[in-house]
């Protein structure tokens, strides 16, 4: 959920500031770009140099700074516009009160007042301060502005007391924000099944029948589904691609038979299924247990048999699932796609052709036409597969909402 996002981290002057080094690392690991703005008092608890090193961006503290004896201005408006999310952690009682009442006496507060993005704040203070009526009024006022509070946790406090007021642990802050972003997303509470990549059909222990699919399109679809809030099961044939997202479960398979079995373990429980894999149509009837030795004068003959049609089986088994297939053709693209759409009981089919330069296997781009079950067509320009995935999901969500 945080991958590719610009996150501004505001750090105020509390002992919990030492935890922000871990928070920055977790945000970077999640794929976010991070910039840090410190209050002057926060620099007493955590080193700007450490945060600069971890975030790979210079930490800012003051409105103006000296660079080689020249004055430069830290633009709070630009910082606020850059951020997709603004996290203030730890958020002291002092800073929270100023935020609630429009006080603007440092760069962090000026940036907060300029921010157009969602703002999350993680309070950190002693037990009695956290429970004080004025503090509770501050929380209420800030949330009424649309800010999101990450509740403090219970534990040992700097004063030696034990109770509520401890800043949420960095991993809990990440989890809270991810779950908050998922809520209200178009695919929130939806479960998605996606097949991707090729299948390898064994001839002997070292040889197989395969195709040129890299799995890129299926992986981009899975990534986008997770960003939109879905829980994703990605059933993938052999590929070098990786995804690190706790919304995505990757189920690795090799053969068409294994993919068929895996698909039907999940299919009955999903809301949407997309068959983006390039599944082999044929597999060797007999697989040698030993490597087949080359015969100098004799041609090699393989007897092949049909694999099970995974997409057809899903179409036959579907109840309330929204089912999407792919049709990669070299001729009669739309006629073949329409026949496949009807025969396999699909709700939507993604048609493309190897005749279009930059489309199909082994490329970072694709050019598609979408056909729905009413045979409505929509053709898109050649685009990166990440953008193609967005187009496909936009079409699916539109159909689901209709």
The DSSP secondary-structure symbol of 183 reads T
Question: What pTM did the predictor assign?
Answer: 0.77
pLDDT, average across residues 281-286: 95
End-to-end CA distance of the chain: 26
**For residue 124, what are its two tokens?**
């950190």
Peptide bond into 90 cis (omega under 30): yes
Lowest mean pLDDT among 102-111, 126-135, 230-239, 329-338: 329-338
CA atoms within 13 Å, Cβ hemisphere of 165? 22
Protein fold of 191-284+303-401: Rossmann fold (3.40.50)
Protein fold of 6-182: Rossmann fold (3.40.50)
| Residue 307 near residue 279, CB atoms below 8 Å | yes
pLDDT, average across residues 324-335: 87
Closest Cα to residue 91, out of 145, 35, 34, 152?
152
**Backbone phi, then psi, for 81, in 5-degree steps?**
-75, -30
pLDDT, average across residues 122-129: 92
Q: pLDDT tens for residues 249-278?
A: 999 999 999 999 999 999 999 999 999 999
| Residue 215 near residue 223, CB atoms below 8 Å | no
Q: Is 331 exposed, middle or buried (0-12, 13-18, 19+ CB in 10 A)?
A: exposed
What is the percent of the chain with per-residue pLDDT over 90, rounded to a whole number?
A: 76
pLDDT at 69 over 70: no
Is 211 one of the catalytic residues?
yes
Indicate the domain borders of the chain.
6-182, 191-284+303-401
Catalytic residue from among 211, 240, 336, 374: 211
Q: Bigger pLDDT: 345 or 63?
A: 345
Dist. CA 150–CA 273, nearest whole Å: 35
Helix (H, G, I), strand (E, B) or coil at 164: strand
Where do we find the tokens 């929380």?
Answer: 139
Q: Bigger pLDDT: 65 or 118?
A: 118
Helix (H, G, I), strand (E, B) or coil at 131: helix
Helix (H, G, I), strand (E, B) or coil at 324: strand
């Amino acid at each position: 959920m945080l991958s590719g996002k610009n996150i501004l981290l505001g750090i105020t002057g509390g002992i919990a500031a030492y935890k922000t080094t871990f928070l920055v690392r977790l945000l970077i690991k999640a794929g976010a770009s991070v910039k840090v703005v410190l209050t002057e008092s926060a620099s007493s608890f955590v080193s700007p140099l450490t945060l600069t090193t971890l975030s790979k961006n210079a930490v800012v503290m003051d409105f103006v700074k000296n660079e080689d004896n020249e004055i430069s201005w830290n633009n709070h408006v630009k910082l606020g516009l850059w951020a997709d999310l603004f996290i203030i952690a730890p958020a002291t009682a002092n800073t929270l009160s100023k935020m609630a009442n429009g006080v603007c006496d440092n760069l962090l507060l000026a940036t907060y007042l300029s921010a157009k993005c969602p703002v999350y704040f993680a309070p950190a203070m002693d037990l009695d301060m956290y429970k004080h009526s004025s503090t509770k009024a501050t929380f209420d006022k800030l949330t009424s502005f649309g800010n999101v509070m990450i509740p403090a946790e219970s534990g040992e406090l700097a004063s030696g007391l034990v109770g509520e007021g401890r800043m949420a642990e960095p991993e809990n802050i990440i989890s809270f924000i991810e779950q908050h972003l998922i809520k209200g997303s178009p695919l929130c509470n939806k479960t998605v099944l996606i097949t991707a990549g090729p299948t390898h059909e064994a001839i002997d222990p070292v040889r197989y029948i395969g195709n040129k699919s890299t799995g890129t399109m299926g992986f981009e679809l899975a990534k986008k589904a997770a960003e939109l809030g879905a829980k994703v099961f990605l059933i993938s044939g052999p590929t070098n691609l990786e995804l690190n997202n706790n919304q995505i479960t990757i189920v690795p398979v090799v053969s068409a038979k294994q993919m068929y079995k895996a698909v039907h373990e999940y299919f009955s429980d999903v809301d949407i299924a997309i068959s983006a894999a390039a599944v082999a149509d044929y597999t060797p009837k007999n697989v040698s247990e030993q490597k087949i030795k080359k015969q100098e004068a004799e041609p090699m003959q393989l007897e092949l048999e049909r694999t099970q049609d995974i997409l057809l089986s899903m179409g036959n088994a579907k109840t309330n699932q929204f089912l999407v297939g792919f049709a990669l053709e070299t001729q009669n693209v739309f006629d073949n796609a329409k026949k496949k759409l009807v025969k396999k009981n699909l709700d939507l089919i993604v048609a493309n052709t190897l005749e279009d330069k930059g489309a199909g296997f082994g490329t970072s781009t694709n050019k598609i036409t979408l056909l729905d079950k009413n045979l409505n067509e929509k053709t898109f320009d050649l685009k990166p597969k990440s953008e193609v995935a967005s187009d496909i999901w936009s079409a699916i969500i539109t159909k689901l909402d209709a």
